[in-house]
């Protein structure tokens, strides 16, 4: 089978047979906007050919740096927020042992990769410092500007700890900066200090950056094979370059979710049946939400982890407001399987399952859920993946990236900007007393007092 396949067979109750074909003209136009750069946000399309057209010299330096980190560090602290960490975090979870963080270092065979700068929680940073303890560690700071509040605070803290432990010269050999090629506060500091630097490409937005140095260095340092990751993405780039909906399953997914959106299914749940795909959903939520939530429209991206969340969200999904659609990422061949043992008694009621394997049960649960939810009025799409490895993940990443880009153009928005992200920052700077934002802070405090 293909490394990724899209199944829309459960949509028959919700989408008429002719509707996909009726989308072809719009999909063809959206494809032209994307491929020829005639659509909004054309300057941020370099991710399209990143799997096949990337800086080979930098790629070699990434692998060399990852090898050095493996050699001299027990821990790699990756500092970034949003697209600067979600892709790498997703890949590390997807590609490694479910309990990767708890593994013995000898079994893990690579540094423990931890992520900081993705919140303002003091307890989170304190606990990470305690976890690192006296272990040898390095830092990969990821920021286009170097002035984003959350990662800047975390970097200042962990940079000082490196200096305290190794001295200025020793720290210099353990800091890797992934940033703008020419400008910005982090680039200026990195050049002055002599840190090794990697580039965030100008034409690649954060949520599309996992296949650049942003994601590749942490993923490689975790022990994963980034050559295979890029090979899978390159194959997907080749496979999804035809706008013909009968041949392009990524475009089918984009078209179907827009058909459903126009029918009132305004929230999409990305679901899985494997706990180590939880961060895949977090990465997808940024990709979809930041790309499509504009101009008072767009599909709201949410997620659920099954079968776990069937015991908490299942009631709402089955009988709640009928604005939900579901996309399941279904693993067809698990990394490992476990048989259900026989027992002397049947007190737990499992006699009918003894001797069966858990993945068989998991798959039957998936099939039962699809049947129940479609009967209950919830459309379900499935993205099948054949295994959890680097090649498949690269392919899956590209599937979602190109589908969401096309989906944005189908909905008449710029899928590559994020103007609304700055709103909270402006207010936060005012309340924190950042120079230049004093009036905003005064006004916010006045409003807060009036509403108290």
CATH of residue 54's domain is 3.40.50.10490
Vertex 401: Cα angle to 397 and 407 (nearest 5) = 145
Considering only CA atoms, give the Rg of the chain. 23
Say whether both 95 and 113 belong to one domain.
yes
Say whether both 197 and 146 belong to one domain.
yes
Please indicate, yes or no, if residue 259 is contained in any of the structural domains.
Answer: yes
Please indicate, yes or no, if residue 435 is contained in any of the structural domains.
Answer: no
Say whether both 22 and 80 belong to one domain.
no
Please indicate, yes or no, if residue 150 is contained in any of the structural domains.
Answer: yes
Please indicate, yes or no, if residue 421 is contained in any of the structural domains.
Answer: no
Neighbours of 2 (CB within 10 A): 14
For the chain, the domain total comes to 2
Please indicate, yes or no, if residue 200 is contained in any of the structural domains.
Answer: yes
Domain that holds residue 377: 4-39+230-410
Cα–Cα distance for residue pair 31/28, rounded to 1 Å: 5
Say whether both 220 and 308 belong to one domain.
no
Cα–Cα distance for residue pair 338/359, rounded to 1 Å: 8
- In this prediction, residue 420 carries a pLDDT of 64
Cα–Cα distance for residue pair 159/137, rounded to 1 Å: 11
Question: Under DSSP, is residue 97 helix (H, G, I), strand (E, B) or coil?
Answer: coil
CB-neighbour burial class of residue 357 (10 A; exposed 0-12, middle 13-18, buried 19+) = middle
Say whether both 18 and 107 belong to one domain.
no
Q: Going residue by residue through the chain (452 aa), what tens digit of pLDDT does each one get?
A: 468 999 999 999 999 999 999 999 999 999 999 999 999 999 999 999 999 999 999 999 999 999 999 999 999 999 999 999 999 999 999 999 999 889 888 888 899 999 999 999 999 999 999 999 999 999 999 999 888 999 999 999 999 999 999 999 999 999 999 999 999 999 999 999 999 999 999 999 999 999 999 999 999 999 999 999 999 999 999 999 999 999 999 999 999 999 999 999 999 999 999 999 999 999 999 999 999 999 999 999 999 999 999 999 999 999 999 999 999 999 999 999 999 999 999 999 999 999 999 999 999 999 999 999 999 999 999 999 999 999 999 999 999 999 999 999 999 999 999 886 666 778 778 767 888 787 777 776 777 777 76
Please indicate, yes or no, if residue 388 is contained in any of the structural domains.
Answer: yes
Say whether both 25 and 53 belong to one domain.
no
Say whether both 376 and 245 belong to one domain.
yes
Say whether both 217 and 335 belong to one domain.
no
Say whether both 219 and 244 belong to one domain.
no
Please indicate, yes or no, if residue 452 is contained in any of the structural domains.
Answer: no
Neighbours of 432 (CB within 10 A): 10
Take residue 398 and report the two structure tokens written for it.
């590209």
Say whether both 305 and 181 belong to one domain.
no
- In this prediction, residue 425 carries a pLDDT of 73
Say whether both 245 and 392 belong to one domain.
yes
Q: For residue 87, what are the CA distances in angstroms to 280, 305, 401? A: 8, 18, 12
Active site residues: 290, 425
Please indicate, yes or no, if residue 445 is contained in any of the structural domains.
Answer: no
From 177, 200, 224, the end of a domain falls on 224
From 224, 248, 264, the end of a domain falls on 224
Indicate the length of the chain as a whole number.
Answer: 452
From 167, 202, 224, the end of a domain falls on 224
Say whether both 85 and 123 belong to one domain.
yes
CB-neighbour burial class of residue 129 (10 A; exposed 0-12, middle 13-18, buried 19+) = middle
Q: Is the pTM of this model over 0.75?
A: yes
CB-neighbour burial class of residue 263 (10 A; exposed 0-12, middle 13-18, buried 19+) = middle
């Amino acid at each position: 089978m293909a490394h990724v396949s899209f199944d829309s067979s459960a949509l028959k109750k919700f989408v008429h047979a002719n509707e996909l074909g009726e989308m072809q003209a719009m999909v063809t136009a959206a494809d032209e906007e994307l491929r020829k750069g005639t659509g909004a946000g054309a300057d941020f399309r370099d991710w399209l050919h990143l799997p096949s057209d990337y800086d080979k010299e930098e790629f070699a330096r990434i692998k060399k740096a990852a090898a050095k980190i493996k050699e001299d560090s027990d821990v790699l602290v990756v500092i970034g927020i949003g697209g600067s960490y979600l892709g790498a975090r997703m890949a590390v979870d997807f590609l490694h042992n479910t309990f990767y963080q708890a593994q013995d270092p000898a079994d893990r065979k690579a540094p423990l990769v931890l992520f900081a700068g993705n919140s303002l929680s003091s307890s989170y940073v304190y606990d990470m410092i305690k976890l690192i303890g006296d272990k040898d560690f390095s830092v990969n700071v990821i920021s286009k500007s170097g002035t984003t509040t959350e990662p800047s605070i975390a970097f200042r803290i962990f940079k000082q700890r490196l200096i305290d432990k190794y001295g200025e010269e020793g720290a210099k050999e353990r800091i890797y900066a992934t940033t703008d090629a020419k400008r910005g506060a982090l680039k200026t500091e990195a050049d002055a200090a002599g840190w090794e630097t990697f580039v965030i490409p100008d034409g690649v937005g954060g949520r599309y950056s996992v296949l650049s140095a942003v994601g590749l260095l942490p993923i490689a340092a975790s022990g994963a094979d980034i050559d295979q990751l890029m090979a899978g993405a390159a194959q997907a780039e080749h496979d999804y370059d035809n706008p013909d909906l009968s041949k392009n399953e990524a475009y089918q997914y984009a078209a179907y979710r827009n058909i459903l959106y126009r029918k009132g299914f305004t929230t999409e749940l990305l679901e899985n049946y494997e706990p180590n795909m939880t961060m895949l959903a977090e990465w997808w939520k940024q990709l979809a939400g930041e790309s499509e939530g504009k101009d008072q429209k767009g599909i709201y991206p949410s997620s659920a982890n099954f079968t776990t969340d069937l015991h908490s969200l299942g009631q709402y999904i089955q009988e709640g407001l009928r604005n939900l659609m579901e996309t399941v990422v279904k693993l067809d061949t698990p990394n490992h399987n476990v048989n259900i043992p026989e027992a002397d008694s049947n007190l737990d009621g499992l006699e009918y399952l003894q001797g069966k394997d858990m993945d068989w049960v998991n798959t039957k649960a998936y099939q039962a859920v699809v049947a129940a939810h479609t009967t209950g009025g919830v459309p379900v799409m499935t993205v099948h993946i054949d295994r959890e490895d680097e090649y498949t993940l690269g392919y899956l990443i590209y599937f979602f990236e190109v589908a969401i880009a096309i989906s944005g153009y189908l909905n008449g928005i710029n899928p590559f900007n994020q103007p609304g992200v700055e709103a909270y920052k402006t207010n936060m700077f005012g309340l924190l007393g950042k120079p230049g934002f004093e009036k905003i802070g005064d006004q916010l405090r006045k409003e807060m007092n009036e509403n108290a």
